[in-house]
Amino acid sequence: MDFFPWRGRLAIIFLLASIGFNLCLYAVFGDSNYIFKFILAQLGFLPISVYLVTVVIHQLLGQREKQAILKKLNMVIGSFFSAVGTELLRLISSGQENNDVDRQFLQVGADWQAIDYQRAIAHLEKSDCGFSHAKIDWLRLRSFMLAEKNFLLSLLGNPNLFEHESFTELLWAVFHLAEELASRSDVSTLTTGDYEHLVGDIKRVHVLLLTEWLTYMKHLQADYPFLFSLAVRTNPFNPQAKAEIS
């Protein structure tokens, strides 16, 4: 029996239980026609029972499990922004040719509603982020990305991240930028074409990072007001932002 699949053993147990129940019915009522009708009635409801169990209940349980996983992932996303995301936003945003327009849409505050986040994300999707490689501190950016490379690898090794496609895409984009910078020993003396290639990688990271940042801020505002308060006071797009409360 140890080599017999547990599903097979369970099926035999249920089959024997069903036979035993019907034998009890026959012993009590002595009416085989009633038992036969009872079995047919149960078979008639079997498709509905299967649908309820395999589709409806399974889907409800799956959604609940997914919500639990996403809640845990928000903790991972929070650690990402604390360690890498917020500082990376500061470093790459400094290379924008004109970021005043973006700043207007990124002044997240306590009075923001869902429509404000939607408006900001829609602006980012339509915005043509112009970057100048001359304004980017490449040495500082490379040093920062290399220092956080192991942390990024640990996040990519989290199997639960597959439940959050947009954040996984962001991580791959950030990790690719780190790999590109690590492959160049001296980022201060690159050709114009090489700089433009890196700027293309930065643009990809910039849009994904901002979109995920806004989504994360919305989550904090709804579920963790105390964390949201600190995030607003340290907003990387607010030149007057400071953690101290005046």
pLDDT digits 0-9 by tens, 14-38:
888 888 887 887 787 777 777 777 7
Domain ranges of the chain: 6-59, 68-233
Task: Determine the average pLDDT of the residues in 117-135.
Answer: 80
Dihedral class, residue 127 (left if φ above 0, else alpha if ψ from -120 to 50, else beta): beta
Query: Mean pLDDT lowest for which of 52-56, 120-124, 151-155, 178-182?
Result: 52-56
Do the beta carbons of residue 35 and residue 22 sit within 8 Å?
A: yes
pTM of the model: 0.69
Give the pLDDT confidence score for residue 54 in this predicted structure. 75
Give the pLDDT confidence score for residue 185 in this predicted structure. 86
Give the model confidence (pLDDT) of 156-210 as tens digits: 887 777 777 888 899 999 999 999 999 988 888 889 899 999 999 998 998 899 8
Give the pLDDT confidence score for residue 188 in this predicted structure. 85
C-alpha 85/C-alpha 240 separation (Å) is: 19
Alpha helices in the chain (DSSP H): 6-29, 32-51, 58-80, 86-93, 100-105, 114-126, 138-147, 149-156, 165-182, 192-223, 225-233
Do the beta carbons of residue 209 and residue 216 sit within 8 Å?
A: no
Give the pLDDT confidence score for residue 100 in this predicted structure. 57
- Tokens found for residue 57: 């209940």
- Tokens found for residue 72: 């845990």
| Helices vs strands, H then E, count in the chain | 11, 0
Q: What are phi and psi of 131, to 5 degrees?
A: -120, 145
96: pLDDT confidence band, cut at 50, 70 and 90? confident
Give the pLDDT confidence score for residue 42 in this predicted structure. 75
Our measurement of the distance from residue 199's CA atom to the centroid of its chain's CA atoms, rounded to an integer in Å, reads 25
Give the pLDDT confidence score for residue 29 in this predicted structure. 73
For residue 167, CA distances in Å to 75, 78, 213 come to 12, 11, 10
62: pLDDT confidence band, cut at 50, 70 and 90? low
- Tokens found for residue 52: 């309820």
| Closest to 175 in 3D by CA, of 197, 200, 195, 149 | 149
Cα atoms found within 13 Å of the Cα of residue 136, Cβ hemisphere only: 27
Give the pLDDT confidence score for residue 147 in this predicted structure. 92
Alpha helices in 30-57 (DSSP H): 32-51
pLDDT reading at 109 higher than 90:
no
Q: For residues 25-40, b (16+ Cβ closer than 10 Å) or e, as one string?
A: beeeeeeeeebeeeee
